[in-house]
Structure formats: structure tokens, C-alpha cells
Amino acid sequence: MKMNPLKSLISIEEAHKIIGNSIKPISEVEYIDILELEGRVSAEDIISPMDVPPFRRASMDGFAIKSSDTFNASAENPILLECIDIIQAGDVPKKEIKSGECVQIATGAMVPNSADSVIQVELTELINGKVQIISPIAPGTNISKAGIDLKKGEIVVRKGDVFTPGKIGALASINKTSVLVYKKPRVAIIPTGNEIAKLGSSLKEGQVYDINTYTIATLVKKNGGNPIIFDIIPDEIQKIESAILKGLEYDIILLSGGSSVGERDLNIKIIQKYGKVLFHGVQIKPGKPTLYGLIKDKPILNLPGYPTSCLTNSYIFLVPIIRKLGNLPPERPRTIQAKLSKKIVSRLGRHQIYTVRLENGYAIPVFKESGAITSIAWADGYIEIPYNVDLLEKDEIVNVYLF
Amino acid sequence: MKMNPLKSLISIEEAHKIIGNSIKPISEVEYIDILELEGRVSAEDIISPMDVPPFRRASMDGFAIKSSDTFNASAENPILLECIDIIQAGDVPKKEIKSGECVQIATGAMVPNSADSVIQVELTELINGKVQIISPIAPGTNISKAGIDLKKGEIVVRKGDVFTPGKIGALASINKTSVLVYKKPRVAIIPTGNEIAKLGSSLKEGQVYDINTYTIATLVKKNGGNPIIFDIIPDEIQKIESAILKGLEYDIILLSGGSSVGERDLNIKIIQKYGKVLFHGVQIKPGKPTLYGLIKDKPILNLPGYPTSCLTNSYIFLVPIIRKLGNLPPERPRTIQAKLSKKIVSRLGRHQIYTVRLENGYAIPVFKESGAITSIAWADGYIEIPYNVDLLEKDEIVNVYLF
């Protein structure tokens, strides 16, 4: 086999820029039920077909009154109103009030047209069966106008908005039960390698179980993608080629392994044959040999084969790709500050991803080697050591990106 | 109707303490496929049944050698080894090496027993078909020992661990395809109120559409719970009572509305009849009338009826309940700092939740009123104003909790 060391590595920033310029958010749409919308992206401007609330309602429990009846009210000059009805939420007012009258009203209930204020129950007293008021009430007090929440014709949710519980509530308020959203990106995950065994099979000598398919598929789902898992393809160029061509039916193709020098260079040859390589080799550790290209405008990302390199590079490169494909905004990572439990020596010129466990405010390095999945499985998150830093001191405060 | 104002409010901290002491994490378990595990909680210690990797493997592309052959190597005294075989990943070594020999080996491939080091390809040169080495190589170089990742008998995942992509990768490495996890808490959501109309129906006069069921169900799912949505129950004590008794089949009952004073006090009467009220009224704004109790050890949370009060109180009280029921650790909120776009006046003695939109580094208050779902639908998150603060100044830096 030929072994050509990777010579020119690009920076992470360059890699992100190349990826960003090459990814087009998917435009396919589908209707989704309101109860399944969380985290999905609206593909339509949603306009309110009605006023919400559709009627004037009381925003407090109390008495609907004519405010002018109270303008001269004071402790010395209390006014007494006759209560002529009770309106519960959901009721339609049956009686209108005249000056000197009021109706008892519950929060959320429709206010009679003849009333212009609601005085809250705490400010009244019942005196000989009449409602006593001892201070003036301004017109409009404790009344929510029709359309205060949403006016007919107003935009409720904009195209591109991500559905939160609150936005879903706004849809419910206008009886919108089904919404046009962008489809989830379909992600072809193609495991390759003679040394990789399918879960559930028995290991042959020299083989290890397929880890990357499961870590990648999980991360894809967590970021709004839909993983399609291919059978494991042996290291034979025709078989990999035909799997990749089949993968073009989907929105992106993911390979892991086979991008290092010496690994027969099968994947890169196939990408060069049908499309173009956009980068090969990134100044990142672990995970240098990451390879990225396009075949017929479909992105193809070849992650390193080693499980921890594969997964850390998935956090760094794959997550933004899947989110952009899916019309989702960039992730807002959860971070926490911690003290480093021991000195870490890094290498200038490589952006290092270092997995850590959190304990009592300390970030404890747990990195064993990039081949060991426990380097990341037993970590709570990772720290980043930039190109130009070669040493982090014990007790230094670091930013931990949580998994 | 009687209207008894809420007199003694408890603090949020007391409310959380009462809730915390009354909630028992659920103990029911189920087997779940590895591809569905993300965010689920292991109900078992998972022990590795094997060494990972199961064999000594090369961690670099290069040549497997006897290190002793190289101890005297130098630029002046290069040594030449005869390459007798090629071992690709997945191959079983067919030949053992003698002194003076080497085999070419790929990353991840099994190292022959007779070799004790792998020299990386970049440090060698091919001279007349032989492999030239010009520096000594230490024993063990570039070899991952069997079991370096996981040893047979070692704990891979502990009971109570939440499955991340990394932990799922560790399961894959030991061929664990199905895992015992805690069941999701089943959450009975019982919408009540004559004024509430079911989505899909046409509104009667005086009615609004059911918002809270959808916001709560979404938040429950997002936090690992399984919502069970009841039909809307009218304000009739027998019907609410029978719905609540049916709700006892589930792990928690959620009501919204009917907990304010004057709202006929139906819910509180039913809780008092069959169980006990643990608190009624919290020093929080919006959302004061929140009511919490136990019936036959099942928690019952009665959220305020107004959509924004209901949802903000769900973020504050319901999320920790659902996560604790589901054996999940407390949420690690995503926060961001922003400058307040304008002065906010709060009220001493109430912990205020104030929804904001983010724009150009500013947090812009969007709160209209607690009855308006757009007070939260159009927000990116919320800020908290503690009891003892009555004013936030324009341009003050605030912590925004993101939805």
C-alpha cells in the first residue's frame, strides 16, 4: 500500500467556512401534528385567522362595572352597586348593567358590553348584599381587549422559527393543529472496514464492533437529522463506490475511517472520481484526517475511524452541517466553567479537543487515546486548547462544553 | 361564588423543597434499543463482558518491528528491515517476524505476537525494497494493548447514567444492543374549564382554544416524560373528581386553571377530600395561585390557567418534577448574558419571571400580560427578578434563560 502523509492541514475556521459555503438547507417540507412540533422548523409564515382572545374578558376575579359609577368613590363616600348576575368563564353574559349595577365575573369570562372595567374582588366588600367600592376605578381596568394577544391577520410564527413550547401554545390559541415544517435531513451513514463487525454478530479475530455508526446516528438524531444506516461495507472499492452512489439518494453521506494515509485511500479516490474533495486534513487533535467533499452537490463527510476522533469531530463539524441542512440555527452549547485538575501539555499548531469529567468544580482529563471510546464515554464534556496555546496550568479556569 | 384571596404565599425555594421531598423517582424499567437510548437513564450497571479492543492493535500506519532491532539505529548507522507481509485492519497476522524483519501494518490492525512496536511510516524510508530506520524505537510504541479501552468485568455505564452519544458508543463497543432503562414518567394532563375549547372544534361564544395542554405536553416530552392527554372536563365537581381519580393511574396529574380564588375552588376541594394540599400560592409573578398536593402518594400539580403563567410556572416547577420522576438530573439551563433594553420595575416580595426577546446583544422585554401566550411565544427566554429587587436599570447585564 502507498502511504502519503497528509501534508497541508487547514484550520478549523477554514474548514467551517468551506462547509458553510457548500451546504444548502433542505427545502422539502411536510405537515406535522402540533404535538410533534417541538424542535422542528416552520416552513411557513403562520397568520392568525382570528382575534385572540376573540372577546373582551376579565383578567381578574371581581365585578364588572361602569367605571363612571366609581369616579367619586372614597372611604368617606363609599358607593354601593347592586350585583345582578354572575358570569363564569365560558358563560355568555345574559344581562347588561345600568348605572348602579354590577355583575360578578370570573377571570377569563366575557365582559358584558355595558361594563368598561372589572374591579378586583379584593378591593370590594359585601355590605347588606351590595358591593361596596371605596376608590375610583379607571376605565379599562382588568379587562383584556379582544385581540390583545393576537390580532386577526397578525403573524404568529415566521418561516424559519423553531418551535418551542411557547410557540406551540400560540398555534393552539388559533386552532392550528398541523404545520408545514422542513423535513429532517436524511443522513446516510455508511460504515466501512474489514475490521468492523455488526452489532449482534460474533466478532471474528482481528475485528472490533461498530461504534461509530451508533455515536454518529445518535448525534444526528439529537440535532434534528434522520439517520439511515447502511450495512457494513468491506474494504473493496467497487462495494464502497456502489454504497456511496446509493447514498446520494439522501441529503448527506457520512463515512468513518478510510480517510487516513495508508488506509488504501479508497474513499478519496471515489470522491475525486464522482465529485470533488474540498478539504482533507484539519489542524485538530484528535481527528486530523477528516475529509470533506461534494458529489453532485451532495456533501460527503469522511470522519476519522477511531471512535473518539470520530465523535469529537462529529461534535465540531457534523453538528453544524446537520443543523444547517435542517434549517436549524447554530447550536447554543451548554458550557460550564471549571478548574483544571492537572497540567495539560498541548501541541502548538493543532487545535486540541480534550475530554474531561466534572467533579467538585474540577475538570479532570479523561482522555486515554483516540481509539478508546471511553475517552469520551466517561467524559461530561470537552475543553478546547487553541492552536497558539501549548500549556494549560493546573487550577486554570477552563470552559467545558457539556455533552 | 366565594372568593377567598390567597393569603400566605410561600417562596419558590420552599415550594421546590416541598416538591423535592414529595417526589419519588419512578422505579419501573423497560428494555430499549441502543438507537433509541439518547437521553434515557440506565437502570443497570453495565459490565463489559470482554476486553476492548480484544487484541493488541496498531495505533498508527507503519511497520510492526522488534524494537530491539532498532536500539543502535542512528542516521550514521541506519538499520534495514525486510518487510515480509502486509497486515490490513481486520486481517489476522499470518507470519511472525524474526530479528531483521518487519511487517507493514495499518492503523487498527492486529499486531503479530512477535512484534513489540510499530514505527510510524513517516519515520521510515524504503531503500532497495527494505525499510530503513534511523532512530531507536521504544518497546510498546504505537501499540494499543488489549483491554486498553475496556477490560472484561469493568463497569461501562453505571445505573443512573444518562445516555450520551459517547456512552452509547461504549455500549456498541461491547455489543450491547438493548439496555434496561427507567420508564418515562406518565403524565396525566387534565384540561378543565367551560371556557376551554378542544382544538379542531369550533369556538362557542365566550370560549378560547385549549393552549395549556399543548404547551405542557411539549415541555413534558422535552424533559423525558410521556404526556397522556385527557378530554376537556367541564367545571362540574363530579366530572373533575372522576377525571382526577382516573389520573391516579399515571405518575403525576397536571391541572391548569381552577386554582385561583373565586374559581369555585373545585380542584382544591377534591385534593383535600382524597389527599392533601402541600402548598397553595407561591411568591412568583406571574403564576401566584399554583397549587400542589398528593393523592395516594401521587403528585398533583395545579398550574395557573392563564397560558403564560401556566408555561412559566411549568418551566420553574414542572420541569424539575418531571426530571426527578424520570430519574434525570436537574436541567442544566442554557443561558446567555444580554443588556436590558429598558428599565423594568418589579414588585418587592415577588420573584418575577420576565420574558425577553434577544436582539443585537439586548434583552428586550416582550411581556404583554399573563393571559397572552405571545408574551412567551415571541420570547427567546426569560430573566428572573428576585424578591428583593424592585428595579432593573436600562443597559444592566442580565442572565437570560433560553427556551
Round the average pLDDT of chain B to a whole number and report it: 94
Q: Which residues contact A202 (CB under 8 A, 6 or more apart)?
A: none
- How sure is the predictor about A1, in pLDDT bands with cuts at 50, 70 and 90? very low
Instruction: Give A317 or B261, the one with higher predicted confidence.
Output: A317
- Give the pLDDT confidence of B195-231 residue by residue, as tens digits: 999 999 999 999 999 999 999 999 999 999 999 999 9
Domain B335-402 coded CATH 2.40.40.20: no
- Give the pLDDT confidence of A22-64 residue by residue, as tens digits: 999 999 999 999 999 999 999 999 999 999 999 999 999 999 9
Say yes or no: A318 contacts chain B, CB-CB below 8 A. Answer: no
Query: Which pLDDT does position A6 carry in this prediction?
Result: 66
Report d(CA A325, CA A316) in Å as an integer: 15
> What type of residue is A95?
K
Say yes or no: A167 contacts chain B, CB-CB below 8 A. Answer: yes
Residue A258 has pLDDT above 80, yes or no: no
**Rounded average pLDDT over A329-348:** 92
Given an 8 Å threshold on Cβ–Cβ distance, is B148 in contact with A109?
Answer: no
Residue A257 has pLDDT above 70, yes or no: yes
Closest partner residue to B165 (CB to CB) among A34, A209, A219 is A219
- How sure is the predictor about A263, in pLDDT bands with cuts at 50, 70 and 90? low
Report d(CA A403, CA A314) in Å as an integer: 12
- Give the pLDDT confidence of B126-144 residue by residue, as tens digits: 999 999 999 999 999 999 9
Q: Nearest-CA distance from B73 to chain A in Å?
A: 23
- Give the pLDDT confidence of A353-399 residue by residue, as tens digits: 999 999 999 999 998 888 899 999 999 999 999 999 989 999 999 99
Closest partner residue to B193 (CB to CB) among A38, A89, A170 is A89
Query: Which pLDDT does position B115 carry in this prediction?
Result: 98
Chain A CB contacts of B374 under 8 Å are 149-150, 156, 170
Show which of residues 22-51 on chain B sit within 8 Å of chain A, judged by CB atoms. 34-35, 37-39
- Give the pLDDT confidence of A295-315 residue by residue, as tens digits: 999 999 999 999 999 999 999
**Rounded average pLDDT over A202-220:** 97
Query: Is the Cα dihedral B131, B136, B140, B144 positive or negative?
Result: negative
A44 neighbors A130 (Cβ within 8 angstroms): no
Residue B302 to residues B11, B192, B352, Cα–Cα distance (Å)? 17, 11, 19
Residue A100 has pLDDT above 90, yes or no: yes
A33 neighbors A124 (Cβ within 8 angstroms): no
Show which of residues 240-279 on chain A sit within 8 Å of chain B, judged by CB atoms. 257, 260-264
Superfamily classification of domain B12-28+183-325:
MoaB/Mog-like domain (3.40.980.10)
CATH architecture of A33-49+155-182: Alpha-Beta Complex (3.90)
Tell whether pTM > 0.80.
Answer: yes
Domain-wise residue ranges, chain A: 12-28+184-325, 33-49+155-182, 57-144, 335-402
**Rounded average pLDDT over A145-169:** 98
Grid coordinates standing for B192?
378543565
User: Where does B29-52+148-182 sit in CATH, by number?
Assistant: 3.90.105.10
Residue B354 has pLDDT above 60, yes or no: yes
Say yes or no: A332 contacts chain B, CB-CB below 8 A. Answer: yes
Domain A12-28+184-325 coded CATH 3.40.980.10: yes
- Annotate B225-276 with DSSP letters as a single string: -EEEEPPPBPS-HHHHHHHHHHHTTSSEEEEESS-STTSTTHHHHHHHHHSE
Query: Which pLDDT does position A166 carry in this prediction?
Result: 98
- Give the pLDDT confidence of B66-96 residue by residue, as tens digits: 999 999 999 999 999 999 999 999 999 999 9
Show which of residues 182-241 on chain A sit within 8 Å of chain B, judged by CB atoms. 193-196, 199-200, 203-219, 221-222, 235
Report d(CA B309, CA B101) in Å as an integer: 77
Q: Nearest-CA distance from B171 to chain A in Å?
A: 8
Q: Which residues contact B272 (CB under 8 A, 6 or more apart)?
A: B293
* Short-list B193, B195, B235, CA closest to A109: B195
Report d(CA A250, CA A226) in Å as an integer: 10
- Give the pLDDT confidence of A53-66 residue by residue, as tens digits: 999 999 999 999 99
CATH topology of domain A57-144: Molybdopterin biosynthesis moeA protein; domain 3 (2.170.190)
Given an 8 Å threshold on Cβ–Cβ distance, is B260 in contact with A37?
Answer: no
Report d(CA B244, CA B299) in Å as an integer: 11
